[in-house]
Amino acid sequence: MKTLIALAVLGIAASAGATPSGEILMPSTDIQPYKVLHLNIDAFLRTQDENNGTRKGPMSMLGPTIGVLPTKKIQAETGFDLMYQGDKSLDNNPLYLHGKVGTPEKSLADWSPALAVGGYNIGTKNGATNQDIVYGVVARTFPKIGRLSAGYYGGNGAVLRDEQGHIANNGVLLSWDRAMNEVSDKLKFAVDYQSGQSLAGSTNLGCSWAFSKKTSALLGYDIWNNRAVAGKNTFTLQVDIDL
């Protein structure tokens, strides 16, 4: 495990890092193949006005991710996002880094699950954007059920707080996803959950459609755990392209 964490940190330091390969918002055990450059374009639109009658602007992020290890049993990715949230103090520092290292299912033995450790939302503005979230996730795919994932995350308590200013910088990660082959092998459903009362906590539901082997789009709905901090719920549209 120490070796995996060290590789993840090296990946982050070597280059800019993006939202990690994931479900809807939660990071997954998926990792970009070696030298495959991936581009994600994500948008989040508010569904309601805030309690004061105003509506927060849309959030958007854009960034590349690339696989950086040539081995099959141990894989790694790194990248970066430019994230805009409609807040001038944050948007003046839009760069967020990420990195991840892990092993795919059955890579160690026939029974072995997928494992991944990494970090994301590594911001550049101290006390504002440096959420500095690190996590570990384990996943296993079951016939007819789909893939189940579970993990844990922790981040910078100076930034990840609730509406009363209390530290809320850790929590569990849970997700389910499944390719709906009964309908089409291009269709996939997913649900993921991050506990916690900070900006990071949410329940997310979505479905994606693969237009080709290199291009897919996801439509989802995000239920934020603490709307006093994160704002009202959002619709999300995410486009993923392998270059």
Element (H, E) at 10: helix 2-14
Residue 230 β-bridge partners: none
For the chain, give the mean pLDDT.
Answer: 90
Query: Each residue of 48-79: pLDDT tens digit?
Result: 887 777 777 789 999 999 999 999 999 999 99
Residue 98 β-bridge partners: 79
Query: Each residue of 160-178: pLDDT tens digit?
Result: 999 999 999 999 999 999 9
Q: β-strand 187-194 against 202-210: which pairing, if any? A: antiparallel
Query: Each residue of 72-108: pLDDT tens digit?
Result: 999 999 999 999 988 888 899 999 999 999 999 999 8
Q: Taking a C-beta distance cutoff of 8 angstroms, is the pair 83, 96 a contact? A: yes
CA distance 232 to 131: 20
Q: Taking a C-beta distance cutoff of 8 angstroms, is the pair 149, 23 a contact? A: yes
CA distance 179 to 30: 14
CATH number at residue 93: 2.40.160.40
CA distance 111 to 180: 24
pLDDT range class, residue 16, cuts 50, 70, 90: very low
Q: Taking a C-beta distance cutoff of 8 angstroms, is the pair 197, 226 a contact? A: yes
The model's pTM is: 0.88
CA distance 32 to 77: 6
Domain that holds residue 96: 2-242
CA distance 232 to 200: 14
Average pLDDT over residues 174-196: 97
Element (H, E) at 99: strand 95-103
Domain count, the chain: 1
CB-count burial class (<10 Å; 0-12, 13-18, 19+) for 166: exposed
- Please report the DSSP string for 101-154 in residue order: EEE-TTSSSTTPPEEEEEEEEEESSTTTTEEEEEEEEEEEEETTTEEEEEEEEE
